[in-house]
Every structure is written in C-alpha cells, then in structure tokens.
Structure 1
Amino acid sequence: METFKLGEITLTWLNGGDTFMDGGAMFGVVPRPLWTRKYPVNEKNQIELRTDPIFLQLNGKNILIESGLGKGKLTEKQIRNYGVTEESKIEESLAEMELKPEDIDIICMTHLHFDHAGGLTKRDGEGYASVFPNAVIYASEIEWNEMRNPNIRSRNTYWKENWEPIADQVRTFTGEQEIENSIKMIHTGGHSDGHCIITIESGGERLVHMGDLMPTHAHQNILWVLAYDDYPMDSIRAKLEWIPAAIEAGNWFTFYHDGHYRALKWDRDGNIVDSVKRVRPEDKMS
C-alpha cells in the first residue's frame, strides 16, 4: 500500500478494486488522439480506473475517504460491463495495519455512485449489511436525497443495496462540512448534483481531493469533463475555481481512480513537479 505524508498526517491508499471503463466516456467530447497522449488505453478502448479509498487518522479517529467498489455484490454482467478485474480487499488492507472494518469511525463520501459507495455494504444472508457499522458516513444532503430517489438517469448508479443498510449512519450537510478540524467537504455539484470535493490541511500543507471532477491526473484540463457528468458546466465551473488556485498555492492533489498516480503537484505550466506513484503489480515483481 502506498503512503503519503501531509504535514503530521499519513495517508494510505487501500485496495478498493480495479475497473476498466470506456476511455471515450471518461473524456467526453475530447478527441481520442488527445486524451490517449495523457493516459494509457487498451485494445478495447478502456482505461484503468482504481477505486481505492484513502485511510488516515486524526485526533484518534480512523477515517476513510470513499469506500471502494465492494466485494461479492456485482453480477457477471456488471463485472463484464464495468471491466472489473479486482473487487475490494479493504478488510485485508486494514488488517495490514492491525485494524478491522469495525474500527473505522468516519467515512467521507464525495458522492454515492456505485463505484464509490459499493464498499459501504456487503451481502448478509438474503440481504445486505453495513461493512463499517461504527462509522459516521458524511455526504451532502443533495447527494443523499438523490441516492434514495434517483431520476431516470441516475438510477443506474444509485442502488438501494448501497444505502438502505447504512441509512442510520449517514450524516448530511449543505454547503460545507468540517471534520476533526482538518478536513473540509465542500459541495460543488457537477459530476452529480450532490458531488463534493475534500480538502485536508496539516502542518501548513494542503491537499485537494477533487473526486470525480478530476478522477485522474489526465483530467487536469478545465474543459476535460466526463460524459458521465450530469451537470458538465458545473464541473467546469468547479474545476476553474479550484484547480488553478490550488496549483498557484502549491497544494497537492490526490486521486481515487488514477491507475498511475496517488498524489501529485503541478507547476503553473502544468508540469508535474512532485508525485507519489502507484506501485503496480508488475512493478513489485521486477
């Protein structure tokens, strides 16, 4: 597991699963010859998208950002359509730190699409149960309301098995939510109506977790938004507000989906000046 030190806080990426989604959908109207210069693509026009939660500890609390894809919940058709090559191994990742899912105190959700919220619940006999029964789960009020009452488009990604078992654990907010004096969740909309970004500050350093407004480092361009975005102009507005300012301030960016970078800094010209790379399985073998 890769780790990264931000001030006094250590971030650790857990194994939340791996998907390979259509590259064209992930880059919207951007022509293929352009985005393939920025991000590798396979012969099926799919790009690798990890679903790896970030673990950190603050004030004695065990905290997750996102929850992973989940395990044992997808049908064979869903596994094929979403290009799933690996399901979540969150329990195993936590065990490496001598922790259990029951030890998680707080979970911060940028939004509640299946690839982010699938890890919140698990199969339990004929039904489903919470994976993290002792955690408070934060999401924006708009996001939580839409998950429970999806529209004709969003019902394909807001699944009742991902929210019904954890309904009494969810705490919603409007606008902003501060957590443990160091984390802020800020509603942006865009990718979903209730989508939010997350910032973490420690020791004079700050990182910005853009969620699915910038799922990979290749989405740094303000205009490169996903075909999956429900409100693309809101995505562009939020990226324009946050990305240039964070680069100017020397902030770190972290990623949930990137198959190649865990965290990085850009300079004003868009060059990567510092980074934490993902250690890929083939790298471990060499």
Structure 2
Amino acid sequence: MDQWKIGTKTLTWLDGGVTHMDGGAMFGVVPKPLWERKYPVNEKNQIELRTEPILVQGYEGKNILIESGIGFGKLTDKQKRNYGVTEESLIEKSLEKEGLTTADIDIILMTHMHFDHASGLTRWEDDQLVPVFENAVIYTSETEWNELKNPNVRSQNTYWKENWEPIQEQVKTFKEEVEVIKGIKMVHTGGHSDGHSLIEITIENDEKIYHIGDIMPTHAHHNPLWVLAYDDYPMTSIFQKQKWIKPDTWYFFYHDCIYRAVKWDKNGELLERVPRSPKM
C-alpha cells in the first residue's frame, strides 16, 4: 500500500480493486492520438482505473475514508468482463496492515455513488447484504442521494440499490457544502453526476489539497476540456475544472494508475508528483 505523509496528516491508499474502462469513453471527444500520449492504453482500447479508497488520518483521531472501492463478490462474471475488473477489494486486509478493522472507520466521504465508488460500502453475509463499515457516518450530497434512490433511464445502470439500501441509516447529506470535520470540507460540484462533490483538505498553514473525484479522475484529465463521455453534464465539469484546478496545488486520485498525487505549475507542466508503487 502507498502512504503519503503531508505535514502531520497521512493518506493511505487501500486495496480496493481495479477496472479497465474504454479509453474513448474516458476521454470523450478527445482524439486517441492525443490522450494516449498521456495515459497508457491496452490492446482492447481500455485504460486501467484503480478503485482504491484513501484512508485519511490526523484529524481529531478519526479514521476517514474517501470512496469505498469496487467491493468483493458483488459483481457477476458478465459485469467483471464488461468493466474490466481483474482485482476486487481486499479492504479488510489493507486495514489490518494499519492495525484497523472496518469497524474503526468513523467517516466515509463519497464524491458520488456510481458503482465503481460505492460497491465497497456493502457486502454479502450469508444471503443478506449488510454494511461493510458498520460504525461510519457516510457523507454524500443531497442531490446525489436523491438521484441514487430514483435513477433515470441513463443513471440506473450505475446506481444500484445493492449499494445503498443496506447503508441508508448511516447516510448524512448536505446541499452545497459541509465541513465534515475541522479541516475537511465537501463541496457540491455537479458535472460528472448531478450530485457529484469534491473534497478539500486543509493541511498545516492553511495549505489545501484536493480530491475532485471523477471531474478529474486521472492526471491525464488536467485539461479542462478533456471530460468524460460518462459525464452527465460535461459543460458543468468544464466549468468546475476551470474553477478548482489551480497551479502549485496538490491533487490526489482514486482512479489514477500512475500517480497518487500531483501538482502542476502555471503552464500546466507537472511540478511535483507522488508515484503509485507497482503492485507486487
């Protein structure tokens, strides 16, 4: 597992699984000769997208999780094939290495509730789906939660009741923004989904680092115009990228298979980076 210490805070990436999604869909209208220079692609035109939750520690003694992974034993063989899932979540083993269990997670921050972010929230116990993190308060935006429960013809393919029904008593929603704990804020952005949110974390001396979810799922999506075909509101994604992507600022990722975190200069060139360790 990769661990990034920044000031007195620690971010640890847990083993949450991996998908391989169509590169064309992940880069929308951007021609392949352009995006394949930025991010590796396989012979099936798929790009590797990790689904690795980030454990945040250093805030009032709380164990805070960002996203939840792809889950374990939740997907059919057809779904695994369609979504290129070659590894499922091993969250319990990852937490064990940190001296923790799933019961020790206090807060979970969900940028949105698409299946590749939310499937790790529940698990099968005998013939019943139960919460994985039974003691956690789970935050997502009110807009996201409402659409999740009443998906439209497009979103019903990614909002699955298996991922929300067992945890609904644990969920706490917000409208535009919420300070979950002193130093950690969620802000509703829309774009990728109508209820999508970003996470702003304050480190020492008011330095802020950001996880802006699937508005910028990898470092290769830095260009504001490089938005996903999966985005429900692409123009909103572009606006939010213009608003939130700033020079000399750290951004960290859930999906990126190359970097855990990066910082760009004012010209859009990589200034600093935290690489992802190759999986042994």
Whether TM-score is above 0.5 comes out as: yes
Matches within 5 A, 1:47-86: 47-57=47-57, 58-86=59-87
Query: Could you tell me whether the CA contact under 8 Å between 2:140 and 2:171 is conserved in 1?
Result: yes
Matches within 5 A, 1:1-286: 1-57=1-57, 58-204=59-205, 205-243=207-245, 246-247=246-247, 250-281=248-279, 284=280
Q: Once the 2 structures are TM-superposed, how far is the Cα of residue 179 of structure 1 from its aligned partner?
A: 1.7
- What SS class does the counterpart of residue 120 from structure 2 fall into? helix
Give CA deviations for 1:17-48 in whole Å, capped at 9, x if unaligned.
01111000000000010000100000000000
Q: Once the 2 structures are TM-superposed, how far is the Cα of residue 124 of structure 1 from its aligned partner?
A: 1.8
Between the aligned residues of both structures, percent identity stands at 64
Give the Cα–Cα distance (whole angstroms) in 2 for the partners of residues 90 and 194 of structure 1.
26
Query: Could you tell me whether the CA contact under 8 Å between 1:139 and 1:172 is conserved in 2?
Result: yes
Give CA deviations for 1:34-72 in whole Å, capped at 9, x if unaligned.
000100000000000000111012101110000011000
Give the Cα–Cα distance (whole angstroms) in 2 for the partners of residues 54 and 146 of structure 1.
25
Query: Could you tell me whether the CA contact under 8 Å between 1:193 and 1:230 is conserved in 2?
Result: yes
Give the Cα–Cα distance (whole angstroms) in 2 for the partners of residues 202 and 15 of structure 1.
25
- What SS class does the counterpart of residue 163 from structure 1 fall into? helix
Letter in 2 for 1:215: P
- What SS class does the counterpart of residue 133 from structure 2 fall into? coil
Q: Once the 2 structures are TM-superposed, how far is the Cα of residue 273 of structure 1 from its aligned partner?
A: 1.4
TM-score by length of 1: 0.96
| CA-atom RMSD in angstroms | 0.8
Higher deviation after alignment, 1-10 or 14-23: 1-10
Q: Once the 2 structures are TM-superposed, how far is the Cα of residue 88 of structure 1 from its aligned partner?
A: 0.5
Q: Once the 2 structures are TM-superposed, how far is the Cα of residue 111 of structure 1 from its aligned partner?
A: 0.2
Give the Cα–Cα distance (whole angstroms) in 2 for the partners of residues 98 and 3 of structure 1.
14
Give the Cα–Cα distance (whole angstroms) in 2 for the partners of residues 254 and 56 of structure 1.
12
Structure 1's consecutive aligned runs of 4 or more residues displaced over 4 angstroms after TM superposition are none
Query: Could you tell me whether the CA contact under 8 Å between 1:28 and 1:226 is conserved in 2?
Result: yes
Letter in 1 for 2:223: N
- What SS class does the counterpart of residue 226 from structure 2 fall into? coil
Give the Cα–Cα distance (whole angstroms) in 2 for the partners of residues 275 and 5 of structure 1.
13
Give the Cα–Cα distance (whole angstroms) in 1 for the partners of residues 203 and 220 of structure 2.
26
- What SS class does the counterpart of residue 224 from structure 2 fall into? coil
Give the Cα–Cα distance (whole angstroms) in 1 for the partners of residues 211 and 197 of structure 2.
9
Give the Cα–Cα distance (whole angstroms) in 2 for the partners of residues 52 and 59 of structure 1.
23
Give CA deviations for 1:70-100 in whole Å, capped at 9, x if unaligned.
0001000000000001001111100000100
- What SS class does the counterpart of residue 25 from structure 1 fall into? helix
Question: Where does structure 1 lack aligned partners over 5 or more consecutive residues?
Answer: none
Query: Could you tell me whether the CA contact under 8 Å between 2:203 and 2:209 is conserved in 1?
Result: no
Higher deviation after alignment, 264-273 or 254-263: 264-273
Give the Cα–Cα distance (whole angstroms) in 1 for the partners of residues 19 and 85 of structure 2.
4
Give the Cα–Cα distance (whole angstroms) in 1 for the partners of residues 7 and 41 of structure 2.
35
Give the Cα–Cα distance (whole angstroms) in 2 for the partners of residues 144 and 15 of structure 1.
26
Higher deviation after alignment, 20-29 or 198-207: 198-207
Give the Cα–Cα distance (whole angstroms) in 2 for the partners of residues 156 and 69 of structure 1.
15
Query: Could you tell me whether the CA contact under 8 Å between 1:53 and 1:67 is conserved in 2?
Result: yes
Give CA deviations for 1:237-283 in whole Å, capped at 9, x if unaligned.
1001111xx21xx21000010000000111111111111111112xx
TM-score by length of 2: 0.98
Question: Where does structure 2 lack aligned partners over 5 or more consecutive residues?
Answer: none
Query: Could you tell me whether the CA contact under 8 Å between 1:6 and 1:206 is conserved in 2?
Result: no
